[in-house]
Copies of this chain bind each other. A is one copy, B any other.
Amino acid sequence: MCYNLAMSADPSPTLEDVARVAGVSRATVSRVVNQTRNVAPEIQEVVFRAVEATGYVPNRAARSLVTRRSEAVGVVVAGTNLSDSLHAGQFLTDPFFGRLLTGIIGALKPRGIFPALMLAENEADDVAITAYFKQGNADGALLISTYPDERLPELLAGVGRPSVRFARPARPAPVSYVDLAHREGGRMAAEHLASLGKRRPVAVSGPLEIPASLERQAGYEEGWARHGCAFVPTAEGGFTYDSGELAMKDLLDRAPDLDAVFAASDLMAQGAIHALHDAGRDVPGDVAVVGFDDSAPARISRPSITTIRQPLEAMAAEMVRLLLERIDQPSPEPTSVIFDPELIVRESA
């Protein structure tokens, strides 16, 4: 109803059209467009002019049909069945995920690739996603998962599609992955807090089904053990603001004289600081708090949060690099790249 503006349904020009305009063969135009073989400079010039004149853009379907490449990749977000706090929509809003996804998109952009976003919430989804890849809709997958029982890498490998995972799988599996030295990160947090003269540490851990959470916690405890602190009261959170607040309240009950907190994500650190304020504790005066990730909340919130930085953009770029490498020449050997965490000192500790 109302106004109706016609869309220009121009039949896109084909290679043939360009060839006719340029006065050369289809093959030559293809060579120029794809830089695939030597072509005399003056002919290249003519062809480029013809491409310009016709507004030619190669048809991806036709190209894919012969190259057997879609020039597309999928980002699969899995593991939403871990716990309610990590529900799909919820997970998408995690600042950690935002940074990672932005990094992926940025790393893919130079290749002219925009990732297809998929949520794998159950086995039916796994099957649908596998079929999607088998149809040739995408050449490979970037897996971001918190689900310990990951079948997707095998399924995808079964249809000839490489995948690269963010984080080491919970159970050994032949997948390439990019990860952080989480244990080292936890140790750095303890070391920093200890260097501040703190001696009564607690921890707000992530879900302990996730290797990363376990590692951070283990590193933190190990760090304190080196300072003679044998026991670290710990409450488990779900990486969210509210779970951090709740865990902190619990810890305040259990260890009222605490003076140092390590939260396994910035969001939980934020929640913990909130709870500490509510309990009348000054941060960092009474209690020092260290977060994890170095995502936006760490920089922005007041007090700004001292944190263990994950170089997520670099990790995303590495995932993309590994995947594209594996797509270009399917050397099926899984590999792993581990990045180092970095202590970012701000106000909270």
CA distance A335 to B3 in the complex (A): 9
Residue of B nearest to A90 (CB): B296
Tell me if A7 and B162 are in contact (CB < 8 A): yes
A343 to chain B, nearest CB (A): 22
Tell me if A5 and B134 are in contact (CB < 8 A): no
A156 to chain B, nearest CB (A): 9
A285 at the interface (CB under 8 A from B): no
Interface stretch among A27-35, A113-121, A224-232, A251-259?
A113-121
CA distance A334 to B3 in the complex (A): 7
A10 at the interface (CB under 8 A from B): yes
A2 at the interface (CB under 8 A from B): yes
Known contacts A99-B89, A102-B88; is-contact A9 B115 (Cβ 8 Å): no
Contacting B at CB under 8 A, from A1-30, are 1-10, 12
A131 to chain B, nearest CB (A): 6
A333 at the interface (CB under 8 A from B): yes
A317 to chain B, nearest CB (A): 14
A60 at the interface (CB under 8 A from B): yes
Contact of A92 among B88, B92, B135 (CB under 8 A): B92
Chain B residues near A62: list those with CB within 8 A: 61, 65
Tell me if B58 and A135 are in contact (CB < 8 A): yes
Contacting B at CB under 8 A, from A65-103, are 65, 70, 72, 74-75, 88-90, 92-95, 97-99, 101-102
A330 at the interface (CB under 8 A from B): yes
Contact of A5 among B1, B116, B117, B334 (CB under 8 A): B334
Contact of A334 among B2, B72, B135, B301 (CB under 8 A): B2
A158 at the interface (CB under 8 A from B): yes
Chain B residues near A6: list those with CB within 8 A: 332
Residue of B nearest to A74 (CB): B114
Chain B residues near A170: list those with CB within 8 A: none
A300 at the interface (CB under 8 A from B): yes
Tell me if B296 and A333 are in contact (CB < 8 A): no
Residue of B nearest to A117 (CB): B117
A283 to chain B, nearest CB (A): 13
A46 at the interface (CB under 8 A from B): no
A128 at the interface (CB under 8 A from B): yes
A160 at the interface (CB under 8 A from B): yes
Tell me if B2 and A72 are in contact (CB < 8 A): no
Chain B residues near A65: list those with CB within 8 A: 59, 61-62, 65
Contact of A134 among B57, B74, B331 (CB under 8 A): B57
Tell me if B332 and A4 are in contact (CB < 8 A): yes
Tell me if A296 and B89 are in contact (CB < 8 A): yes
A57-B135, A74-B114 given; 15 more Cβ-contact pairs under 8 Å: A1-B335, A3-B174, A4-B333, A5-B157, A5-B174, A59-B135, A61-B64, A65-B65, A88-B102, A92-B97, A92-B101, A109-B128, A114-B137, A115-B116, A116-B117
Q: List 20 A-B contacts (CB under 8 A).
A: A2-B334, A2-B335, A4-B333, A5-B332, A5-B334, A8-B158, A9-B330, A57-B131, A57-B134, A60-B135, A61-B61, A61-B62, A61-B136, A72-B137, A89-B101, A109-B128, A112-B131, A114-B117, A116-B116, A274-B274
